[in-house]
Amino acid sequence: MDTMTRLAALAAECMESLWPDTEGLPAAEEIRGLLAVPPDPSMGDYAFPCFRLARPLRTAPPRIAEAMCAAWKREDVASVQPVNGYMNFFLNRVNFAAEIMSALQAQGDRYGASDLGKGKTVCLDYSSINIAKRFHIGHLSTTMIGHSLCRIYGFLGYTTVGINHLGDWGTQFGKMICAYKKWGTREGIEAGGLTEMTRLYVRFEAEAENDPALEDEGRAWFKKIEDGDPEALEIFRWFKEITLKEAMRVYDLLGVSFDSYAGESFYIDKMEPVIQDLRDKGLLTQSEGAWVVDLTEDKMPPCLILKKDGATIYATRDITAAIYRQNTYHFDKCLYVVAYQQDLHFRQIFRVLEKMGFPWAKDCVHVSFGMVSFDGEALATRKGHVVLLEDLLNQAVSKAREIIEEKSPNLENKDEVARQVGIGAVIYTDLSANRIKDINFQWDRALNFDGESGPYVQYTHARCCSVLRKAPDFSGVTPDWAALSDDEAQALLRLIGRFPDVIREAAEKYEPSMITRAVTDIAQAYNKYYYEHRILDGEPSLAAARVALTDAARSVIRTGLWLIGIEAPERM
Ligand code: ARG
């Protein structure tokens, strides 16, 4: 429990002991919301404004604060002082330090983990790339937010299922094959990979503008895939293999993996019963020859299920996939980490699932996010100027390599550290702001070792490790937590104490950036502490306490970075 929650609970207890029969007094939770941090630390660490109690008690706030302070019995947690209607709390700093430090020492690197999610399953649909398309920077957010949420939920004891819902079905694959047959060669594609595939596809689109017969040919090839024609299937599988091989290189760089690659084509033979079910439930209506689920009541356009020619679409496959996931994994939540542009699509399919009578439809959540641009340019949309994620990542690594060369010429494993720092810088930027905000990627900021950046947090972690390497063996010494009563240590301890709550909140709000924020705050607080205090000097019992605090900061920063998918080198 974080400090404020605890103080609020104790204040509520104190209030109830004084006025057990009064109605309309705030509960602990409300008090928690009212607690404030006084602007001037000499006024206390926290303050409870008693004004809210004036009405139910029909008493002036200063009298109330005085009465509460007089009745306060928990000096072990905090001493109190009434000031102008405020009940001011001064934490018992030594006890507070002892409490946080013993929690850390008991849990070690599992500090902040819990079994909150024991027996519960969360499905996470993320990354979900499209076959025959390159992995561009637009896929970074879905990949990293999804990966981070997997780790966060896993750390809280949930079983997680990471699903890469591949975009591997649709008429475009017929066109691809057609283009390949006309203008491509096996060697060309083997050598050029997705770049060559993209070139062929672009040519198809261009030529089809003047030659409508080409479209028909493309459609015919897609029909062949659908009908299981061996040649079409073989080429299609091969395209898929090439796409995945290239994607895998990016996933390896990012340290991301999946439990399932069941994409759109996986559901092809599973849609029929779902469509029948929709029909049986009277949900399908015909509209201009197509079959749709009417959503007028819900103020949404109809959800298209079957096109005029009887073909299924993206939505049909998503509805089928949701049902499949529920039947297979019995999820308690199914998260879709997909850009905000698909907001309507998800509202429609969730509503259709609800209309079908699935009570779990409410457990499906669209975790949307904004756009990534690069030095102000929206990349994914600009023709001929798509920033490929792999290039970006490799560039980040080589830039990090240069900085490391300059800063730490004697470092042993420079290549390894450059990889960790370069990739970390990109991931940090991606997860640094509220996910719905657009992100503008800038090299100077991402790689600024002194600013709010991945390298800065990693550097702080390495600094903690370096202090710990230099520290003598304190294993026989009992740390004296009184050494941690200064303002800097207390500020750090408060952040560490809150960390487990941050993880829970990040899970609740599907917001990895809350962890990024927390880990940055902790790094800043540790650096402040580091500059103000001589950690290894003085009495062993005092030095042991400061070293333990350093170890606590190290451990929490490492966990925090891990939760957002960033590695923590021990030297850099
Ligand atoms: N492949 C899609 C795209 O790149 C994203 C799929 C998201 N997941 C889903 N179940 N619809 O736009």
Q: Is the pLDDT of residue 498 over 80?
A: yes
| CA-closest residue to ligand 1 atom 1 | 167
Residues in a beta bridge with 123 = 161, 334
The residue range of the domain holding 11 is 3-91
Q: Where are the alpha helices (DSSP H) in 19-60?
A: 28-34, 54-57
What CATH number does the domain containing 227 carry? Answer: 3.40.50.620
> How many angstroms separate the alpha carbon of residue 188 from the centre of ligand 1?
29
pTM of the model: 0.93
pLDDT in tens, 207-258: 999 999 999 999 999 999 989 999 999 999 999 999 999 999 999 999 999 9
| CA-closest residue to ligand 1 atom 5 | 128
Contacts of residue 156, Cβ cutoff 8 Å, sequence gap at least 6: 113, 114, 115, 116, 117, 503, 504, 507
Q: Are residues 195 and 228 in the same domain?
A: yes
Nearest to 112 by CA among 506, 513, 499: 499
Q: Are residues 420 and 469 in the same domain?
A: yes
> How many angstroms separate the alpha carbon of residue 129 from the centre of ligand 1?
7
Q: Are residues 71 and 199 in the same domain?
A: no
Task: Tell me the DSSP string of 297-355.
Answer: GGTS--EEEE-TTS-B-HHHHHHHHHHHHHHHH--SEEEEE--GGGHHHHHHHHHHHHH
Q: What is the mean pLDDT of residues 388-393?
A: 89
Q: How many domains does the chain have?
A: 3
Q: Which two tokens stand for residue 1?
A: 């429990």
Alpha carbon distances (Å) from 216 to 171, 220, 290: 11, 6, 20
Share of residues in the chain with pLDDT > 90 (%): 90
> How many angstroms separate the alpha carbon of residue 138 from the centre of ligand 1?
12
Q: Decide if 262 is inside a domain.
A: yes
Q: Are residues 334 and 438 in the same domain?
A: no
Q: Is the pLDDT of residue 376 over 70?
A: no
CA distance 27 to 478: 40
**DSSP element (H, E) containing 368:** none
Share of residues in the chain with pLDDT > 70 (%): 98
CA distance 418 to 398: 7
pLDDT in tens, 282-313: 999 999 999 999 999 999 999 999 999 888 99
Q: Which two tokens stand for residue 124?
A: 């996470």
| Residues belonging to the active site | 133, 136, 139
> How many angstroms separate the alpha carbon of residue 272 from the centre of ligand 1?
21
pLDDT in tens, 164-221: 999 999 989 999 999 999 999 999 999 999 989 999 999 999 999 999 999 999 999 9
Quick one: which atom of ligand 1 is closest to the CA of 346? Answer: 11
Q: Decide if 283 is inside a domain.
A: no
How high does pLDDT run on average in the chain?
A: 94
CA distance 496 to 521: 10
Q: Are residues 145 and 189 in the same domain?
A: yes
| CA-closest residue to ligand 1 atom 11 | 318
Q: Are residues 150 and 254 in the same domain?
A: yes
Q: Which of 74, 91, 108 is the last residue of a domain?
A: 91
CA distance 183 to 199: 10
Report the residue among 128, 137, 389 best suited for mutation to probe ligand 1: largest number of ligand atoms under 8 A from its CB.
128
Ligand 1 cavity residues, CB under 6 Å? 125, 128, 130, 165, 167, 318, 336, 338
Q: Decide if 463 is inside a domain.
A: yes
Nearest to 519 by CA among 546, 486, 554: 554
Q: Are residues 153 and 74 in the same domain?
A: no
Quick one: which atom of ligand 1 is closest to the CA of 321? Answer: 10
Tokens 């009563």 — which residue?
485
Q: Are residues 235 and 338 in the same domain?
A: yes
Q: Are residues 151 and 185 in the same domain?
A: yes
Q: Are residues 130 and 246 in the same domain?
A: yes
